[in-house]
Amino acid sequence: MITEFNRMTVVAAAEVVSDFKSHSDIAVLEVEWGITGRCDDSSKSARVASLSDIALTENLTVISEHGNVSLCRALVETALTAPERTHESAAWRKLVAGLRFDGFEIDESITEIESNWGGRVKQSTFSLVRMLPVDIPGLDFRETNSEIEVLLDSCGFTVARGHLNQALAAFQRGEWSSANGELRNFYECYLNEIADGLGYSGPNNSKSRRDYLGNGVQPPFLLAEYNEWNANNQKPQFVQGLMSRMHPHGGHPGLSEEEDATFRLQTSLVTARLFLRRYEQRIGR
């Protein structure tokens, strides 16, 4: 069953809820959501597993503060109410990474409220914001990823598939540098494999293979009219530009590693789908 959120997001949300809610609190939520008595309450981890499984496998609509929503969304929205002390946990990092892969950002709004001892204090509220318009075709990154995996398997690009799997696993763990490194390897590797598949036989060099795709193979695989490749390295070209973007030197003050890793993941997936589809059409599969 296709849900609004991937499995990792839903399980992470349930884990976050269990981090700051007691068994009694979770029992009350289960009553509110109409699933009382259906979850294994022998332990917190058992309850997390039961809640996640019901949310992911059953098309349940429940009542929440935001109206009638899916049980998956109710779990995510409840997780977003977690106190900030839980935001350093592994479960919260997994939730953030999963939501980004689902196309959501967590937005923080700060308001001032009256404290119990007089005066005013700042309070943070967290909510979901879509990163991209929902109605633009081809921007569901979960669907993109699934198609890319099928294309990689169909083309026999097992090494590139391995790099992609490792990049996704690192991203889901919140290990941004590792994810970036594997995405660089993935990008370089599938272009190399495409060049080899189209007959490249020159030096064992990635740049030479990209040049072959732009000018050696006929008709060219990388299209100069789309500025994907150009014999003049001083002219704008997308493929080399993206390669450079994937190999920056050092960190940059004021920039979020998490945000940058998300950008690289999304750009890598959309680009890979374009070139892998083109390769399949070229070889007639």
* 33 and 147 both lie in a single domain: no
Q: How many domains does the chain have?
A: 2
What does the alpha-carbon distance between residue 285 and residue 279 come to, in Å, rounded to a whole number? 9
Q: Low-confidence residues of the chain, pLDDT below 50? A: none
**What per-residue confidence (pLDDT) applies to 79?**
95
Q: Which DSSP category does 209 fall into?
A: H
What does the alpha-carbon distance between residue 267 and residue 141 come to, in Å, rounded to a whole number? 10
* 91 and 149 both lie in a single domain: no
**What per-residue confidence (pLDDT) applies to 260?**
84
**What per-residue confidence (pLDDT) applies to 140?**
63
> Within a 10 A sphere around the Cβ of 19, how many other Cβ atoms?
18
Residue 188 and residue 268 in contact, taking contact as beta carbons nearer than 8 Å: no
* 94 and 180 both lie in a single domain: no
Could you tell me if residue 2 is inside a domain? no
What does the alpha-carbon distance between residue 150 and residue 82 come to, in Å, rounded to a whole number? 38
Positive or negative torsion for Cα 225, 145, 71, 26: negative
Could you tell me if residue 126 is inside a domain? no
Could you tell me if residue 128 is inside a domain? no
**What per-residue confidence (pLDDT) applies to 270?**
87
Considering only CA atoms, which of 84, 67, 83, 74 is closest in space to residue 52?
Answer: 74
What does the alpha-carbon distance between residue 218 and residue 215 come to, in Å, rounded to a whole number? 7
* 168 and 219 both lie in a single domain: yes
- Domain end point (choices 79, 105, 131): 105
* 145 and 278 both lie in a single domain: yes
Percent above pLDDT 70 for the chain: 87
62-85 tens-digit pLDDT: 988 878 999 999 999 999 999 988
Domain containing 145: what range?
A: 141-283
* 148 and 239 both lie in a single domain: yes
Q: Which DSSP category does 224 fall into?
A: G
